[in-house]
Amino acid sequence: MVFFFKYIQLLRYAVVTGANKGIGLETVRQLAASGVTVLLTARNEKRGTDAVASLHGLGLSNVLFHQLDVQDPQSIQALADFIRTRFGKLDILVNNAGASGVIVDEDGLRALNIDPATWLSGKATNMVQDVMKTTYDSAIGCLSTNYYGVKNVTKALLPLLQCSTSGGRIVNVSSLRAELWRIPNEQIRSELGNLETLTEEKIDGFVEKFLHDLKNNELEVSGWSKMLPAYSVSKAMLNAYTRVLAKKYPEMCINCVHPGYVDTDINWHTGIMTVEEGAQGSVMLALLPQGGPSGCYFDRTQVGEF
């Protein structure tokens, strides 16, 4: 009996959001292969259960499905209730779900034939302006997923992560588009980079300011990034939120990670790395030993500069 309770305590439980495909699905596979019981979540039930079936087909019976739309408060609450009732705790949360925030003319984008180096350096910015459009609605969808979605899921699951006997792990999947040097406005850069004065309210204020500037066609004059503007802002704010959260919960390991430039739907398959490579950073951070780094930004598996 004692052995049984010790065994139950040793079991680790993880949630991965947006895990029906891409880096999220591969993150679930790698975590499950390392012995973690993983809740694969997806907003669409059919896509999610198909993904779980594909992993069961590989012999990974320790993967379960639960619906989760990170934009929907009721869906978030239902997930939290399920975990509380079924597991009584959570050890790992990987906030992976993401949206690009642009409407893309995919044929036009392909015709530009932009090479990966040009993409990553930021030199493609002017080239893509005609084929990638940011509308107010697409920006709202992006920020509601990549920033507010992460915050709401995290807030709902934090009490369960605090029940983890190994100290909870939170991995926020970010992007190199969030790196502060890419934001032209010096004041925004310096305020986001100053952890002493950074607060959640301040970060929310930047999001509101961005949306105001977008509505008034003032993004460039206000010094926001021209490349994937809503996506870049959502991930920069996500990085800032990660730091604030890590400071507030020092017993946990809370980090953000750029997965690499990976061949998935979100970048219209312009990426060059495999999902196996792309999931490595998230998995490493999800499995950090106690006392591991927290409040850091990783470029794949290496600590990087915010």
Ligand X SMILES: NC(=O)c1ccc[n+]([C@@H]2O[C@H](COP(=O)([O-])OP(=O)(O)OC[C@H]3O[C@@H](n4cnc5c(N)ncnc54)[C@H](OP(=O)(O)O)[C@@H]3O)[C@@H](O)[C@H]2O)c1
Q: Does 255 bind ligand X (CB under 6 A)?
A: no
Stretch that binds ligand X, among 91-99, 196-204, 205-213, 297-305 (CB under 6 A): 91-99
List of residues 6+ apart from 136 with CB closer than 8 A:
211, 214, 215
> Which two structure tokens, joined as six digits, stand for 92?
């790992």
- List binders of ligand X among 261-300 (CB under 6 A): 261-262, 264-267, 271
Q: Does 101 bind ligand X (CB under 6 A)?
A: no
Among 37, 164, 175, 232, binds ligand X (CB under 6 A): 175
Residue 33 CB neighbours (<10 A):
15
| Closest CB 251 distance from ligand X, rounded Å | 26
71 binding ligand X? (CB under 6 A): yes
Place of tokens 């509101």: 208
Instruction: Find where tokens 């139950």 sit.
Output: 8
CB of 190 to ligand X, least distance (A): 24
Burial class (CB in 10 A: 0-12, 13-18, 19+), 201: exposed
- Is 231 one of the annotated active-site residues of the chain? yes
Total residues contacting ligand X by CB under 6 A comes to 32
SS3 293: coil
Closest CA to 256 of 298, 200, 203: 298
Q: Distance between CA atoms of 24 and 27, rounded to whole angstroms? A: 5
Our CB check for ligand X shows the closer of 40 and 167 to be 40
Q: Which is nearer to ligand X, 42 or 253 (CB)?
A: 42
Using CB under 6 A as the binding rule, whether residue 18 contacts ligand X is answered as yes
**Which residue among 15, 17, 203, 240 contacts ligand X (CB under 6 A)?**
17
Please report how close the Cβ of residue 162 comes to ligand X at its closest, in angstroms: 24
* Given 231, 241, 261, 297, the catalytic residue: 231
Strands 302-304 and 297-299 come out as antiparallel
Q: What burial letters (b/e) apply to 10-26, b meaning 16+ CB within 10 Å? A: eebbbbbbbbbbbbbbb
Stretch that binds ligand X, among 3-11, 18-26, 129-137, 192-200 (CB under 6 A): 18-26
Catalytic positions = 231
Binding site for ligand X (CB under 6 A): 17-18, 20-24, 42-44, 47, 68-71, 96-99, 145, 149, 173, 175, 258-259, 261-262, 264-267, 271
